[in-house]
Structure 1
Amino acid sequence: MSARIVQIYLPESEIARLEDILPRHSRRYWREAVPGGQEKYCCIVQQRYTERLLDELEDAFASVPTFTAFVEQLEAVLPLIEETPATELPLPEDLSPPSAIERFFSRDRLSTDELYDDIEESLHIRPSYLLTVTLSSIIAGLGMVSGQTAVVIGAMIIAPLLGPTMGVALAATVGNRKLGQQAAITLFIGCVFSVLAGLALGYLTTVDPLVPELKNRTVVQLADVALALACGAAGVLAFSRGSSLSLVGVMIAVALVPPLSASGIYLGAGYPDASANAMFLFAVNLVCVNVAGIAMFLIQGLPPKSWRLTGGILAIWAFLLVLLMSMMAGRIFLGFGSWDAILDRLSVGG
């Protein structure tokens, strides 16, 4: 269900302020004393109000040394909490009312803190992360080389680039520079290891450059742009609702891991032109995923710290997308990126 239980610990001297805050975000809450002079409040909060409750708690009590609040998901509660216009709690005076689209999409979205918590662990460059990226790329590469689509999908389920990719989009949306830098570095290193794994695979195995699973990663068409935009939007939509990470990973990995692996394979096999084309597909997909991801986070009502900063970042990603699409159109018009031209170069290279 779309509700959370929020537990709050405060000294007794702060209770009056807390009891002034809670009715604006919750209709059910109760109090109990705990050892150490603390008071514990438990409140049931509809998910759409969790974000604003946590923000107000942080503003009011961040300076209180013993203040603690944490959020847990509820599986069921009786009597039921209905989400209708009649049960809607009034907004604080400093918040503007959400649009109809924002209201619809934000009903069951995780709060920003919950999203941070889901992403944080995947942003550290650990041996397990590097090994997972490498293995995922090898599995995807072997699937493409052998023409086995099911194997490529299996590599996507591993989803090693999910956290960093979501982290970049989330950081751009909320304007968190530290998160953005950490996510970008982790994503970059993961991409390097993915290409290196494909490079080793292309060098050590016999590669038929015309296998459809590989060849399809050397051509960029409008359908690929639409696919990457859909993957980014669907991935963020599922991720922000706490869906299975495997499901979200497939959505993101379909646009990122195979082109990276294919680029390394073609380079290791001695087809630099095809390798460059695969890397170009990856660049288009990465930009599309971020454009769609940021837009979907904003549609769901994720609150930016600065609309000017977030709008500027989104404009840069959109500009890069237009630039890459112009390059794609130019390559096809001049014959460098057409299907026949690529097949000719692969045949000659073989």
Structure 2
Amino acid sequence: MRYIEITIPDGQRRAVLDVLEAEGVDYIVSDEVGRQEHDAAVRFPLPTRAVEGVLDRLSEADLSGARVVVIDAETVVSEEFDELRERHSHGGTRGERTSRQVLETKADELTPAFRIYVVMLLISAVVATSGLLADSPAVVVGSMVIAPLLGPALAASVGIVTGNDGLRSTGFRYQLVGVAVVVAASIGLAWLARLAGFEPGGVDIVVVAELQERVSPNLFSLAVALGAGVAGILSLTRGFSEAIVGVMIAAALIPPAAAVGITTAWGMWGAAFGAFVLVVVNVLSINLAALVTLWVAGYRPQGLFEVSPTRRQTATYLAVFAVALLVLAAPLGAITLIEFQTTQVASAADEEVEAVLAEPRYDHLEAESVEVVLDDDYPFRSIDRVVVTVRSDELAPDPALGELIFDAVAADVDDPPIVEVRYAVADERYPVDWEETDDREWLAGQEGNERLDRQYVQVVEP
């Protein structure tokens, strides 16, 4: 519920009261005495759903110079108000829908001062970069919590739909600057980490799990950004938790932007490109989802004291976002296809290995793992080899086994990969799981103590 107060310009009292009476609004009027030359002040409660419609009707009264204040109301005890609320319940539903005027104010309030915005993003970038390098999900989540991205991410769409050019330009500017700040700060921190010897040059830094999923993104990454855009608008229009939604938006932007900086500092341009595409796709997805959600919710570009602009601007932005998203989603589709093929090869290889080892002559062997290894050509990786690890109690590998496994795997794929068979042979002097043995002093005191698994590798190429 909302409580509205309007100061009425001279000569406009009757026009305003006629609108309120036509809408069935229970109001009070008092003469206005103050610095401004106003005729009166009118106050009245409204259901949240009715605010936008009533203010739009009042705009027809040409209230130039009026002042409108919208206040949250806890409760209203009035039969007239109950009737008004029922009339605006839209088929019995009483869910709240924030008015367009209040929506603009909330989006603006959620956008912090520029200096504070930059400082908070610098802190978030440092935390995110540290979390990615340390492969710490908890630290990465912490970087999302402190990133003030909710307001800027939604301000642009709110500005477009409501015809507020200032809010729209502020939202776009903050988003572009925010991504640039996080990428630049991540490059600097990652470069210092590399210089300090955190990782030697040439190391594939993206083997870190928290990084790997951001430098080679798939189509499922779109779900996070699209969901964040929809949830962000719902948080503004329906009163859901804005803090939680802000974390969701930051999850779609902060870690990928930090991944761009880290991979750039390591000179891994393919991985940096993959992470950058993810950042751009997520920005477009958030804006597109927010804009579509606002339009479906019924928000239109009409101001209280201005002539309603055309809807062409909203349609233009929708088309630009959609086309750009489709173009940039193509690389994500290619990566998704590669991952699907990898899963198929892994499943087929696992079945074929089990079938080969089921032969009586290989009763002494046990399949330990089957892994499909991709190359390092980020972001469009391809299958490099299939690694099969078998455990045996004999010291000599069977040369024919590699050929059998290769033939079996090759029969299920169009482009046969390299097959690498690893024999993990347990030394009979010590337990196989020596690393989990609590009696370390006994192990250290044994003469000739050494690693218990001797590994033989057989490589079969196409």
Question: 2-side partners of 1:26 and 1:214: how far apart?
Answer: 59
What residue is the counterpart of 2:31 in the other structure? 33
What residue is the counterpart of 2:175 in the other structure? 187
Q: CA deviation at 1:158?
A: 2.0
- AA partner of residue 315 (structure 2): G
Does the CA contact (< 8 Å) of 2:13 and 2:39 recur in 1? no
Question: 1-side partners of 2:9 and 2:161: how far apart?
Answer: 35
Question: 2-side partners of 1:328 and 1:83: how far apart?
Answer: 53
Q: Secondary structure at the match of 1:209?
A: helix
Does the CA contact (< 8 Å) of 2:49 and 2:97 recur in 1? yes
Question: 1-side partners of 2:129 and 2:77: how far apart?
Answer: 51
Does the CA contact (< 8 Å) of 1:141 and 1:201 recur in 2? yes
Does the CA contact (< 8 Å) of 1:24 and 1:89 recur in 2? no
Question: 1-side partners of 2:266 and 2:137: how far apart?
Answer: 21
Q: Secondary structure at the match of 2:123?
A: helix
Question: 2-side partners of 1:280 and 1:176: how far apart?
Answer: 29
Q: CA deviation at 1:228?
A: 1.6
- AA partner of residue 333 (structure 2): A
* 1:145-191 deviations in Å (ceiling 9; x for gaps): 22222222222222322222111222232344443222212211111
Q: Among the aligned pairs, what percent are the same residue?
A: 28
Question: 1-side partners of 2:321 and 2:87: how far apart?
Answer: 36
Question: 2-side partners of 1:24 and 1:144: how far apart?
Answer: 60
Question: 2-side partners of 1:161 and 1:265: how far apart?
Answer: 21
What residue is the counterpart of 1:45 in the other structure? 46
Question: 2-side partners of 1:250 and 1:83: how far apart?
Answer: 39
- Change over 3 Å in CA distance of 1:142–1:51 after alignment to 2: same
Q: CA deviation at 1:247?
A: 1.7
Unaligned regions of 5+ residues in structure 2, if any? 200-204, 302-308, 343-371, 382-462
- AA partner of residue 86 (structure 2): T
Greater C-alpha Rg: 2
Displacement over 6 Å in runs of 4+: none
Structure 1 or 2: larger helix share?
1
- AA partner of residue 55 (structure 1): D
When normalised by structure 2's length, the TM-score is 0.64
Q: CA RMSD in A?
A: 3.1
Q: CA deviation at 1:298?
A: 1.1
* Number of residue pairs the alignment of both structures matches: 330
Matches within 5 A, 1:4-43: 4-11=2-9, 13-25=11-23, 27-36=25-34, 38-43=39-44
Q: CA deviation at 1:71?
A: 0.2
Does the CA contact (< 8 Å) of 1:124 and 1:186 recur in 2? no
Unaligned regions of 5+ residues in structure 1, if any? 91-97
Question: 1-side partners of 2:156 and 2:375: how far apart?
Answer: 33
- AA partner of residue 316 (structure 1): V
Q: CA deviation at 1:318?
A: 1.1
What residue is the counterpart of 1:284 in the other structure? 281
- Residue 134, structure 1, aligned to residue 134, structure 2: no
- Change over 3 Å in CA distance of 1:217–1:26 after alignment to 2: farther
Does the CA contact (< 8 Å) of 2:3 and 2:43 recur in 1? yes
Does the CA contact (< 8 Å) of 1:26 and 1:45 recur in 2? no
User: Of residues 171, 176, 186 in structure 1, which corresponds to 2:159?
Assistant: 171
Question: 2-side partners of 1:342 and 1:88: how far apart?
Answer: 64
- Change over 3 Å in CA distance of 1:212–1:331 after alignment to 2: closer
- Change over 3 Å in CA distance of 1:252–1:24 after alignment to 2: farther
- Residue 224, structure 1, aligned to residue 218, structure 2: no
* 1:121-165 deviations in Å (ceiling 9; x for gaps): 555762211111111111122222222222222222223222221
Q: Which moved more, 1:39-48 or 1:338-347?
A: 338-347
When normalised by structure 1's length, the TM-score is 0.83
What residue is the counterpart of 1:56 in the other structure? 57
- Change over 3 Å in CA distance of 1:125–1:13 after alignment to 2: closer
- AA partner of residue 77 (structure 2): L
Q: CA deviation at 1:237?
A: 0.8
What residue is the counterpart of 1:111 in the other structure? 99
Structure 1 or 2: larger strand share?
2
